[in-house]
Structure formats: structure tokens, C-alpha cells
Amino acid sequence: MQYRRVGKSGLQLSALSFGAWVTFGRQVGRAQAREMLALAHDRGVNFFDNAETYNNGVAEQVMGDVLADLRFPRDSYCVSSKVFFGAVDKPLPTQRGLSRKHVMEACQQALQRLRVDYLDLYFCHRPDPETPVEETVAAMDTLIRQGKVLYWGTSEWPAEAIHEAHRVARENHFYAPVVEQPQYNLLHRERVEQEYAPLYEAYGMGTTIWSPLGSGLLSGKYNDGVPADSRLAQPGYEWLRESVLGEGDERLRKVRALQPIADELGGSLAQLAIAWCLLNPHVSTVMLGASRSEQLAHNLGALELLPRLDAPVAQRIRQAIGGA
Amino acid sequence: MQYRRVGKSGLQLSALSFGAWVTFGRQVGRAQAREMLALAHDRGVNFFDNAETYNNGVAEQVMGDVLADLRFPRDSYCVSSKVFFGAVDKPLPTQRGLSRKHVMEACQQALQRLRVDYLDLYFCHRPDPETPVEETVAAMDTLIRQGKVLYWGTSEWPAEAIHEAHRVARENHFYAPVVEQPQYNLLHRERVEQEYAPLYEAYGMGTTIWSPLGSGLLSGKYNDGVPADSRLAQPGYEWLRESVLGEGDERLRKVRALQPIADELGGSLAQLAIAWCLLNPHVSTVMLGASRSEQLAHNLGALELLPRLDAPVAQRIRQAIGGA
Amino acid sequence: MQYRRVGKSGLQLSALSFGAWVTFGRQVGRAQAREMLALAHDRGVNFFDNAETYNNGVAEQVMGDVLADLRFPRDSYCVSSKVFFGAVDKPLPTQRGLSRKHVMEACQQALQRLRVDYLDLYFCHRPDPETPVEETVAAMDTLIRQGKVLYWGTSEWPAEAIHEAHRVARENHFYAPVVEQPQYNLLHRERVEQEYAPLYEAYGMGTTIWSPLGSGLLSGKYNDGVPADSRLAQPGYEWLRESVLGEGDERLRKVRALQPIADELGGSLAQLAIAWCLLNPHVSTVMLGASRSEQLAHNLGALELLPRLDAPVAQRIRQAIGGA
Amino acid sequence: MQYRRVGKSGLQLSALSFGAWVTFGRQVGRAQAREMLALAHDRGVNFFDNAETYNNGVAEQVMGDVLADLRFPRDSYCVSSKVFFGAVDKPLPTQRGLSRKHVMEACQQALQRLRVDYLDLYFCHRPDPETPVEETVAAMDTLIRQGKVLYWGTSEWPAEAIHEAHRVARENHFYAPVVEQPQYNLLHRERVEQEYAPLYEAYGMGTTIWSPLGSGLLSGKYNDGVPADSRLAQPGYEWLRESVLGEGDERLRKVRALQPIADELGGSLAQLAIAWCLLNPHVSTVMLGASRSEQLAHNLGALELLPRLDAPVAQRIRQAIGGA
């Protein structure tokens, strides 16, 4: 495994990591989850991402049970949670958002579900227009000083809001966010490459990126339509399906244009797409989702492809997706 | 239920909430208290107000026992206490006021009586001329950093003292108060509307207001004299009786002038008075007192009246009470 | 009992309080200690002073056992300890002074001996020339933020060192000392009245004064020589004996000149001396030592004498002791 | 024993102290370790140095077991650990360095192995170019405020990095390092005497120096080659052997030139070398390594030699080693 510092911080995450996403406890049972976490840890993956909202807390429970069962040394991995969305069975305004009340309570609940004494990373899953940034940064600062969180970050915040968080932290001697968790892949590049560009230099922030396969499109698996067992076919994810396949023809054309490059390099389209993310030095880790061990093992193989993505190959990829 | 942010903070309280006041443990027994808390929570009320001085701590004990019994999720409600007055069986100078000693000890005692790990809101019940504001703000700051309190506020402090608290907080990087708990109703408007006006803008403070019915006068129940089971008839509350009915004729004239408006809107006078408070955008929540479930349910009905209080109606109300 | 604020702080101590001094556990047994603490608390005394060095920790143990036995409400009294001198059976350099190591360890030990969760007041018993003031103030600040101490103070520090402590506190956002514990009596006035004068105004500091009877001289009991059961006759206190009686003639002349005033007011010389200390508004409390209940009860009677010490009487006292 | 303040701090360490080094749990068994710690403590040694990396944590375990067994009063000694190198069986990037993650986890692990509630001193064993100084200083600050560490320091950091740590501490109100742990002996003087010179004055830092015998060369025991049971002969320490004997002739010449001085003063060469270190007022303590009680007792004898190292002797020593 290759490890990367999260921006300029001292935390080093594995270049490929494992996000729990919503499937834990639904399509993915405890046995499968255990097998995948064991495989990932064995391959050197040291970051397991989660959130209060993933399967309404069940994803954290499953991960917590499996981690307790596997007994990895606590210093051999990092676990995260994210606060903002709450859970569908918790619809009250005090049960979501970034108020001090919800941030403190959500952290305590995540620690219990994940069965750990502290979170290595704690993310504000979205900006909360109904809470002043001061209140949220102060709550994160308290959690860090209390030892319940080691580092905190944002997820899908506009750059402007992140600037604001840093200003508040500086003025109040609060701990500042060290990481963003944005979507990033061959078909979704603007935020990470343009909008966030000033953040890397100004604050030394890193990124833990999600959806490297564009919700599966970049694996090529939707080329002939959505399989019945895909997440896109699950109830409640119609929005996701539309966003993935909505401008279908153009996105599909790009994906198909990438296939010959993957073939030539001797890897799959998915591996190519994952490895490509790591060409960006501001990507601290690429978070892989998976519902089967074989899929996870295959995607971890992207690291072997990475050395073959030299400058000419990168140039061909850019041309295929129509970028500069 | 409708929810409102406490000023610019991220905490959202139900527009109508439930204050324990002194009756818990006296006129109101555990069974009644349980019934009312269950009803309120079921209707979406998420804020239960209390104070060390209410029935000398018994009100907190009753509420704590009932909350423990009802097992509401901790993130589905907010509980407060207030420090300053102490209890009648605790007459020593270290057992009241806003010294660090009393603030810290009173909080610990409130947590034990209420059977919670932290207070969502902790109020300084009155300003303490015998304690420097620095000492009180510092104590509140310590409680917040220790995780025993989430937000702190003042109750019936002169605006000048609140300005001072904010100045002290800013200069020392202490947590500042986010909320005031003043009296506010159709017959008692000056402090909330005039004196506190600069606080809403300058600090984003909200208010949790008490006595929306002017100690009952606005329910119309004193129009023909004080009933024997009213709080005003209890020993020790002569001062309250005098203050409510003292300028009786004039206040009664206003109350009577409101009755036709309530009738026309299809609500009771009490519901009209409660709903009127919510027309003020700086009111975060109107705290209802009650000694019977029926009374509480009736008063919660004020929310249904609220949409009918449009501009012309508000104008008629202002004229009835002789305001501008 | 009369209560006084400790300087401008919100802490109110009884005008007369009870210092454990070295006799607890030596001349004074547990039964006597229990009787005296019960008497004092019953009379409204709310401050029990102690120190790590008093009888090498045994004074704290005795007081802790007795307090636990008497079960006074924790908010009805204040308990203090002092750090600096260590104990004679602890001669190592890490076991004394005001280093962070000793301050933190001494506090923990005092809490255990006194059987309380926090000290109301914690004093630096002397300045420590071998520790930077920054280190000591920082350690006190940590103890306050951890909730192990409510207020801290100094004892017999030169005014200059106290100024320095306040400067360090201000610059680092540390908690500053609120109280000094100096010697003060009719024959020992300079430090409290002159040297500390600027501290009261600048920082609002109060004083908890010791030795109001000048180690017994002002009780008149040494007029005819030292009784065998006096503390001055104990081994190891020769220095004290010399300092009390050394300039005997002059000090005795003053004491004798006070006797007629006491007689005239209807009190004892001891009561007069104690009450006189309370004429100074910067004296927050006069700490009484005692080895028998009768003695303590008698000295508490000084409060009854206090109203009789009007301006003309005060003038006569000043003349008797040769002051301005 | 003689005690010295650690720079301008209030912490006083014994002039000679005991470093656990790697032999604990390897050549040195529990019984020997117990004997040596008992001897050292009996002689007034109050500082026992350790590190996470010494024998991969086993050195700390052995010391912790022996300290628990010997039951020295906790205030009679200081124990340290150091963070940076991790352990050979912990090769992951999160298991070493000075990231917040590793600093916090390493401290917790050291506390468990050493079986203490807090470390008196906690050192950053080397600078970590892959972690910003801000992150490390902040983590140390958190540990101090949480009460898990009393003082923190650096070990073998370039002076420039120490300046940077102080700048960060000052700007953020973080606790600053009070001590360095460098190598220092008659043949290795530059860093302590030249590079660190500005640190003593600017920040009042002290030093806990290691290798006073230059890995044994200054004991004279390598004059005729390396004995089989020497640490230099252990696998994995070839680098140490080379560095000690590499420029053999010149260093040996110097050592041999010192022998007559030692003889004349009536001490051994080792004692002379150790005592010489204490001539430097910026040396707070000289840490002795030992694998046998006799060796430790002999080296502690250096203190008796110290008074004989007057100015003329010091001058002869300087000439012998070719210094100015």
C-alpha cells in the first residue's frame, strides 16, 4: 500500500481506502462486511469512512461490531464519521444539522455505534445555512480538546464556507479543518481542481474523495443499462440514478473512449478511473465502496496500474474525457 | 409543531415549549407531570424549562424522574436549568447568586436532579450585583468546555449587563450567552421590544419568553376575581397577585377589548395572547406553564390560530391594548 | 454570622472562619476537631482553611474524616489547601515548591486527604524563587479548568510577585489569583495596609487573614509568661516563640494598653483584637485557630463586639498601639 | 544527591538519572531492573527515562512493572517517555512520527505500559519533517491540559525547529517545550555548547543529556576492542559501533590522555567523563545507562568526583581532548 499525508497534516492515510456507504447492513451483511474489512486491512488500507446517515446508523453499528470482532490494533487504522443529515427515523430539527447540540450528540452516538473512544476524523457532511460557522467550529474544537476527535473536516462545503471556517478558527484559537471530502472522478472534476485550488496552498488541506467511479458509470457496468442489484436500482436513490445517467449519451461516450486505454494498460476501466484520481497530488485517499470482497480486491488493484499512468497516458485520458 | 432558531444560533426550539414553574411537585403531582410531558413531546414540544428555585429543586426532581421514565431519546428534547435564586432551605450566601462556586455547584445539582449528563441551556436567572460578570461568564465557559452545558443564557438581565457579558466573552475567548429569558406578553412589551432590540442584531441572541398570559390575566380567568385554585391565591405569591391585578382596571379594560378579536378568529383569549407573542420574530419560543393536560393541550392550540393573525388583525390587537 | 465577598469576587466567606493550623491530629484529636467544626458550621462559619504542611498532611486527613462524618452539604462550606512547604517526611525537591509537578500532585493529595472533589480555594503558600511565575499560574489555571479548584490565591507573597502573577494571567488568558492569605493583627499591619493597598483596587483581591491574635499575644495569655500547653511551648516552634515575645516589652505595653478598652466594651482582649481586624474592609475573613470548642466559641463572640467599635473607639485603639 | 532545575522551569531533577535504553527486557531482566531502580531511587535519583521505541515497548513494560512493585511515592520520581520512532512490530505510518494521531495514541500506550496516570516529561524523540510543528505542539498542549503530561520537550531537534515550536506555542497560547534531550559528552559537544546556546537564554530550556560515556568509549572499555557482551556487539547496532570507533585512533588518543587526570583525582575514567558533563550549567541531568547494579553504583560515584573538577582540572581536560 502507498500512504499519503492528508494535505500538510501529519496524518497519513492509505492511498486507497474503504467507505461504508449505505449498503452496510442492507445489501451487505455482517459476514460480508467482516470479510471486506479484513481484506482491506490486510492490504494496508487504514481508513474506514462512515457517517451517521449511512443506513441511518446501521452502517456504523455493523462497522463497529466488525472492528471489535477483528481486533485490529487501534493505531493501525482510522475511522471517521460525518454529522449533518441525521437519520430518517430522527426527523426533528435537533437531530440534524451542525448546531452544537447535534454535533455533540451525534459524535457521542457515533462513538457508541462504532465502539471506539475517539474518531480519527469527523466531518461536517454539508454546510448548514441555519447554524453560524462559529458555533460548528467551536463544537469541533471542544470535541478535539476533549479527546473525542483527532482531526475534523468538511464534506462538500463551498470553498467560501471553508475559508470562513478557517477565519473563525484563527480568530478564536479553535482547531481548523484539515480535510475536505468531495466527490471526484473523471467526470466530476471542477470543485476539486478549480474551486478548492486555493485551499490546498492557503491551509494545507487534503481531500478524502468519494465516488471515484461516478456511482458506477466509470466501471462500465451501466453501459448496457442498470443491473437489478445495483444501488441505482434501490428505492430512494432515483435522484442518484438520474444524476448518473441523466446526460447519458455524452457521459457514456467519454466512458467508452476510455476503455481502449484501460485495455492497453492491462487493467479494467474501474482500475483506470481509480488510479487516475491518484494522479492529483491533492487527493489524500480515494475511498472505495464495495459490496463484495472480489469487487474490493479488484479495485484495490488500481494501485498496480498507477505507475503506468505516465504523462502521455494522462494526456490521452484527458482527450478522451474532453478536458483540457 | 413549528420550530425556530434561537436567534442566529443553530439550536432550534419548538415555537411553543413547556416551563415547569413552581407547581411541579406541589399542585402538580408526578402522574400529572408525566401526562403533560408526554403530551407535549408527542405534539413536538422539544424544550422543557426549569430552574433550581422552582419548588426548591423539587420541580427538577419531578421532571428528571418523569423524563427518565418516559425514555424520550436525548436528542429529541432540550432541558434547561437556571441558577441564581437557590432554594428556600438553602439560605447561605454560597448557595445562591452567580459566583463560580454557586454556578458550578448548582449545575452539578441540577444535572443530578434532572438525571441528565448535560443541560442544553443554562440560564443566569438574574444579574448578580455581588459577582463580577467576568467570574460568571468564565464559569459558564468552563461548564461548556467540560461538556456539562451546551448553550448558556441570561434571564431578565438589563441590556447593559448583557452587553458587558459579550464584551467579557470576546476579550477572553469565553463562550458568550446566546439567549435571554424575559417576560413577554401583550401587557408587558417594553424590555423585549425596546431594551433588547440592539441585542438581536449585535449578538444574534434569541429569547425564550415566559408568562405569555401575564400570570393568567390574559386568559381572562381573573375577569371576575381570583379563583381559589389559582396560583395567585397561594400563600407566598401575594406580590404576584398585586402585580397582576394592581392596576386592575386599566389592564382588565385591555383584556376585555381583546376578547371580540379572539372570538372572531375562532380561538380563546389565551390562544390569541400566546399566538400574538409569536408574531415577534425575536421570540424563539413561548414557554407555557400548565397544571393540567387539558390546559396545556388548549394552549398548544395557539399555533393553529397563528396563521390568522395577519397584518389587519395585528393592527386591531395593537389598538385594543393601546399600543402604537 | 456576617458574610463578606472575597474582594470583588462573587465568593462570600463568613467574616470569621476556622483555620486548621498544625494542631489537628496532635494536640487536637478527632473528637475535639469534630466538635469544633460542628460548632463553627452551626454558627455560620463557612470557610475551613488547611494546608499540605499542617502536621504534614494529618491536619487535612483529620478535617477530611470529620467533614465526611458530619455530612454538611457541600455548598454550605468552603475548604482550602495550600501548596509549597510539602511535609517533613517528604524532603525531596519534587515534593515541595510551586513547580507544575508539585502543584498538580499536591492538589491531588489534598483532595484525597480532605475527601472532597474540589478545593474551593487553593493557595500558593509562599512565592517560589525557583519556579517561574508563569509555570505556577499555568498549573493553577489547569486545575481550575479541570474543575479541581474553584479559586486560587497566594499567601504571603510580596506585592510585586502578585502583580507579576496578574500580568502573566492577563497575557495568557489564565485564571488570576483572587485572594491573599497574609498575617494581620493589631501588631502586624504594614503588609496588609500598605504593601497590598494597590492590589485591592487594581485586581479586586480579598484577604483571608491569619494570626489575628499575634500567635496568642493579643489574647493577653502571655502577659505572665508562656503556659505549658501553649503552641509556643511545643518543640519546633522556638522561632515562633521568639518572634512573638522577642521585642516583648514594647509589644506587651501595647497589649496592656488595649485591655481597658476591651473591658469598657464588655468583651475580652481577644475578641477586641479579632473584631478590630474586621474594621479593615479589605479583610474578607479572619481565620481563627482553636484547640478547644470553648475557645472557638469565645472568639466567635468577637462579632458581637464589632458594632461597638465605632470611630472614637477605633481612634483609641490606634493610640494604644501607637499607630497614626 | 544533587538536584538541578530543568532550565528555568520549577522541575528539579537529580543531577544523575537513569535511562532505560534498549537493554531492559533483553540483556537486563526484571530482577536486575528492579535492583537498579531500587538502588537509584535510594541514592536520590528521581528521573527514569524511557521511550516507546526502547526494546519496542518492553523497556517501558519492565519499568512499569518494577515501579508498581517497588511502590515509590509517585511524587518522589519523574518518569518520561518519547514519541516518534514507534516499534519495529508497528511499521505503519500512523504508528510513528509526530502526527496528532500518533502522539495521542503513543502517550496512551506509554501510560499503560508504565502503569502511571501521567508522564512527568514527554519528548518528541526526533523532529518529524512530515508533520507541521503546529500539529505536534497542539497535541502536546492537549495532553498537558488533559493532565496526561506535566512537561514536554524535544530530543535531538535542530535549534531552528525548537525556535519554531516556541513561536507556535506563543502565538497559539500552547504549552512550550521546556527541555531538550541531546547527546553530550567529552567527544560530542557542538550541539549542546554551540547550537543550543541561544535556547537557554531565550526560553530557559534545560537538557537531559544521554550518552555521557560516548556509547562506552569514555569508560575506556573499548581501548582493547569490543567485548562480546557489549551493546556494540549486538545485532542491529553496527551503526552505533561504527560511529563510536570509526575515527578510532583520534578518539582513543583523547580518551587515553584523560586517564592520568582521572587517576590523579582518584576516580575512574567513566566517573570523570560523567562528572565533566555536570560542569556545564545547562545540563539539567546526566542520564546513565546500566545493565548491572555495580556499574550503576560506580557511575553514580561521579558525583563525589565533581567537587574536584576545579578550573585548572577543567583546563587540563580541555587540553586532553583538544578543545579550546
Give SS3 for B132.
coil
Q: Residue D141: name the closest of A13, A173, A107, C109 by CA.
A: A173
**Could you tell me the pLDDT band of residue B235, with boundaries at 50, 70 and 90?**
confident
Condensed to tens digits (0 to 9), the pLDDT of residues A179-193 reads 999 999 999 999 999
Q: Which domains does chain C have, with CATH numbers?
A: 3-214+280-291 (3.20.20.100)
Option in D10, D75, D204 nearest C95 (CB): D75
Q: Are C79 and C119 in contact (CB under 8 A)?
A: yes
Between CA B13 and CA B23, with CA B18 as vertex, the angle to 5 degrees is: 155
- Rounded Cα distance between A202 and A198, Å, is 6
Would the pLDDT of C92 be above 80? Answer: yes
Residue B256's pLDDT is 87
> Does B57 touch chain C if contact means CB atoms closer than 8 Å?
no
Assess D195–A contact: CB distance below 8 Å, yes or no: no
Q: Is B64 left (phi over 0), alpha (psi -120 to 50) or beta?
A: alpha
C152 close to C143: Cβ distance less than 8 angstroms: yes
pLDDT at C247 over 60: no
CB pairs under 8 A between C and D: 68
Interface size, chain A vs chain D, as Cβ–Cβ contacts under 8 Å: 68
A99 vs A131: CA distance, rounded Å:
6
Which cell numbers in the block locate residue A270? 474501474
Q: DSSP states of A81-111 as a string?
A: EEESS-BTTB-SGGGSSS-HHHHHHHHHHHH
- Model confidence over B202-211: pLDDT tens digits? 999 999 999 9
Q: Which has the minimum average pLDDT: A230-239, D74-83, D241-250? A: D241-250
* Set of chain B residues whose Cβ sits within 8 Å of the Cβ of C80: none
Q: What is the ipTM of this complex?
A: 0.93
Q: What is the mean pLDDT of residues A8-34?
A: 89
Q: What is the pLDDT of residue B233?
A: 76
User: Does residue C246 surpass a pLDDT of 70?
Assistant: no
What pLDDT shows up at residue D263?
95
Report the catalytic residues of D: 54
Q: How confident is the model at residue C245 (pLDDT cuts 50, 70, 90)?
A: low
Looking at residue B199, the DSSP 8-state letter turns out to be H
Query: Nearest-CA residue of chain D relative to C105?
Result: D75
Q: Helix, strand, coil proportions of chain D in percent (round to 5)?
A: 50, 15, 35
Which of C93, C109, C135 comes nearest D9 by C-beta?
Answer: C135
User: B77: nearest CA in chain A?
Assistant: A94
Residues in contact with D266: Cβ distance below 8 Å, sequence separation at least 6, in sequence order: D305, D308
Q: Evaluate if residue A249 carries a pLDDT over 70.
A: no
Contact D181/D208 with Cβ under 8 angstroms? Answer: yes
Q: What is the mean pLDDT of chain C?
A: 93
Give the cell for residue D28.
Answer: 537486563
Q: How far C151 CA lies from chain B's nearest CA (Å)? A: 8
User: Looking at the complex, does the CB of residue C9 fall below 8 Å from at least one CB of chain B?
Assistant: yes
| Cell 499555568, located at residue | C138
Give pLDDT, residue B228: 82
The answer to whether the CB atoms of C10 and B95 lie below 8 A apart is no
The verdict on B145 touching C (C-beta cutoff 8 Å) is yes
Mean pLDDT, residues B38-46? 97
Mean model confidence pLDDT for chain D? 93
Distance (Å, rounded) from C-alpha A78 to C-alpha D93?
12
pLDDT exceeds cutoff 60 at A324: no
**With 0-12 CB in 10 A as exposed, 13-18 as middle and 19+ as buried, what is B162?**
buried
State the catalytic residue, choosing from C3, C54, C118, C151.
C54
Look up C122 and say whether it is catalytic: no
Q: Which of B47, B37, B178 is nearest to B119 (CA)?
A: B47
C54 Cα to chain B: minimum distance (Å):
25
Nearest one of C149, C146, C140 to C172, comparing CA atoms: C140
What one-character DSSP code corresponds to residue D18? E
Q: How far apart are CA A34 and CA A48, in angstroms?
A: 12
Q: What does DSSP say about strands D12-14 and D3-5: parallel, antiparallel, or unpaired?
A: antiparallel
Task: Using CA coordinates, name the residue in chain D closest to C174.
Answer: D173
**A112 lies within 8 A of chain B by CB:** no
Half-sphere exposure (Cβ direction) of A297: Cα atoms closer than 13 Å: 8
Please say if the pLDDT value at position D248 is more than 60: no
pLDDT digits (tens, 9 = 90+) for B276-296: 999 999 999 999 998 899 999
pLDDT, residue D246, reads 62
- The CA distance from B270 to B259, in Å, is 10
Q: How confident is the model at residue B4 (pLDDT cuts 50, 70, 90)?
A: very high
Q: Are A130 and B10 an interchain contact pair (Cβ–Cβ within 8 Å)? A: yes
Check A130 against B175: CB less than 8 A apart. Answer: no
Contacts of A135 in chain B (CB under 8 A): 9-10
CB contact under 8 A, A9 and D138: no
Chains that touch D (3 or more CB pairs under 8 A): A, C
Q: Which residues of D165-187 are buried (b: 16+ CB within 10 A; e: fewer)?
A: bbebbeeeebbbbbbbbbbbbbb
Q: Please check the confidence at residue A231 and state whether its pLDDT lies above 70.
A: yes
Q: What is the 3-state secondary structure (H, E, C) of chain C?
A: CCEEECCCCCCEEECEEEECCCCECCCECHHHHHHHHHHHHHCCCCEEECCCCHHHHHHHHHHHHHHHHHCCCHHHCEEEEEECCCECCECCHHHCCCCHHHHHHHHHHHHHHHCCCCEEEEEECCCCCCCCHHHHHHHHHHHHHCCCEEEEEECCCCHHHHHHHHHHHHHHCCCCCCEECCECECCECHHHHHHCHHHHHHHCCEEEEECCCHHHHHHCCCCCCCCCCCHHHCCCCHHHHHHHHCCHHHHHHHHHHHHHHHHHHCCCHHHHHHHHHCCCCCEEEEEECCCCHHHHHHHHCHHHHHHHCCHHHHHHHHHHCCCC
β-partners of residue A185 are A188
Q: For chain B, what percent of residues have pLDDT higher than 90?
A: 82
Put simply, the answer to whether A77 touches D95 (Cβ < 8 Å) is no
Question: Would an 8 Å CB–CB cutoff place B101 in contact with chain C?
Answer: yes
**Could you say which of A100, A131, A172 has the minimum Cβ distance to residue B150?**
A100
Distance from CA of B88 to the nearest CA of C (A): 14
Instruction: State whether residue B297 is helix, strand or coil.
Output: helix
Helix, strand or coil, per DSSP, at residue B208: strand
Q: In angstroms, how far is the first alpha carbon of chain C from the final one? A: 31
Instruction: Identify the residue among B56, B85, B94 best suited for mutation to test binding to C, counting C beta carbons within 10 A and taking the highest.
Output: B94
Shortest CB distance from D10 goes to which of C106, C131, C172?
Answer: C131
Nearest Cα to Cα of residue A15 among A309, A313, A239, A217: A309
Identify which of A80, A135, A77, A130 has the alpha carbon closest to the alpha carbon of residue A104.
A135
pLDDT at A163: 98
Q: What are phi and psi of B174, to 5 degrees?
A: -95, 155
Q: How far apart are CA D174 and CA D165, in angstroms?
A: 10
Specify the pLDDT at position C63: 95
The DSSP element (H or E) to which B5 belongs, if any, is strand B3-5
- pLDDT at position C253 is 83
Q: Which of A308, A303, A221, A315 is nearest to A266 (CA)?
A: A308
Rounded (to 5) percent helix, strand, coil in chain B? 50, 15, 35
pLDDT digits (tens, 9 = 90+) for B100-137: 999 999 999 999 999 999 999 999 999 999 999 999 99
Contact call for A75 and D90, based on CB within 8 A: yes
Q: Which of D105, D132, D146 sits opposite A9 (nearest CB)?
A: D132
Give the pLDDT confidence of C181-240 residue by residue, as tens digits: 999 999 999 999 999 999 999 999 999 999 999 878 898 887 777 778 877 678 888 777
Tell me the pLDDT of chain A averaged across its residues: 93
DSSP secondary structure code for residue D312 in this structure: H
**A83-87, C20-24, D28-32: which range is least confident on average?**
C20-24
Task: Please report residues of A whose CB lies closer than 8 A to that of D93.
Answer: 3, 12, 46
A138 touching chain B per CB within 8 A: yes
Question: Which among C8, C75, C151 is the nearest to B90, CB-wise?
Answer: C75
For chain A, positions 248-267, list CB contacts with chain B under 8 A. Answer: none
pLDDT at residue D83 above 60?
A: yes
Whole-angstrom Cα distance, residue D237 to residue D231?
7
Query: Catalytic: which of A3, A54, A118, A200?
Result: A54
**With an 8 Å Cβ cutoff, are D76 and C94 in contact?**
yes
Contacts of A95 in chain B (CB under 8 A): 75-76
Cell 475511498 belongs to: A287
CA distance C54 to B157: 45
